[in-house]
Amino acid sequence: MRAGSAAIFCRALGLPQMGPSAVAATVRRGENRNMTQRELEDLSPDECLRLLTAAKVGRLVYQDDLGPLAVPVNYAIADKDIVLRVEGGAKRAAMQQPMLAFEVDHVDEEQKSGWSVLVRGVGAEVDPERVPALLRAMDGHFPTPWAVGIHNVWLKIVPHTVTGRRLGAERSSPMY
């Protein structure tokens, strides 16, 4: 083990900084064979919706010619529907697939905590005459694409299932 690798290893395992031979000796002696992990907690549908509403960027998941694809997009919530604005192209075409997924998460690497929400549902293009009603349902929180272009095609995903998990309480687990 190189000196730089030893430092990374020590930080990852919560060990004091030590050189490669000291790390190897500590592991051989069986010290610090436990590590802190977190329990996985299922989120309620209401908590999932709250987290979806608070975030602004998620991943649209669909199939293309090469297989599954997850594309980051800006979005908003209208009632319980996921709303996107696009120029057209692959995301617009994806709305024709029988089932789509949409994922939003937050990870805090320092605290080793986070959450993830997964929406599975049917996609649709919003007819232009229905956009005013959609805007009212978003209550002033509109999707604002970051990419350059004219994003005048409105899409929505109507959820069939919404599930989520959070990394909860810490517990000590065997390292290996």
pLDDT tens for each residue of 23-49: 556 556 655 566 677 788 999 999 999
62-121 pLDDT, tens digit per residue, is 999 999 999 999 999 999 999 999 998 999 999 999 999 999 999 988 888 899 999 999
| CB contact at 8 A, 172 and 97 | no
117 and 52 in contact (C-beta within 8 Å)? yes
To the nearest whole number, what is the mean pLDDT of the chain? 86
Mean pLDDT for 45-61 is: 96
pLDDT score at 36:
72
Q: Which residue has the higher pLDDT, 139 or 61?
A: 61
Q: Please state the rounded mean pLDDT for residues 131-137.
A: 93
CA 175 – CA 57 distance, rounded (Å): 34
Q: pLDDT at position 140, please?
A: 82
Strands 57-64 and 100-108: what pairing?
antiparallel
CB-based contacts of 46: which residues, under 8 Å, 6+ apart? none
Query: pTM, whole model, 2 decimals?
Result: 0.75
Q: Which two tokens stand for residue 62?
A: 């669909």
Cα dist. 142→28, 75, 123, 138, 157 in Å? 56, 7, 18, 6, 15
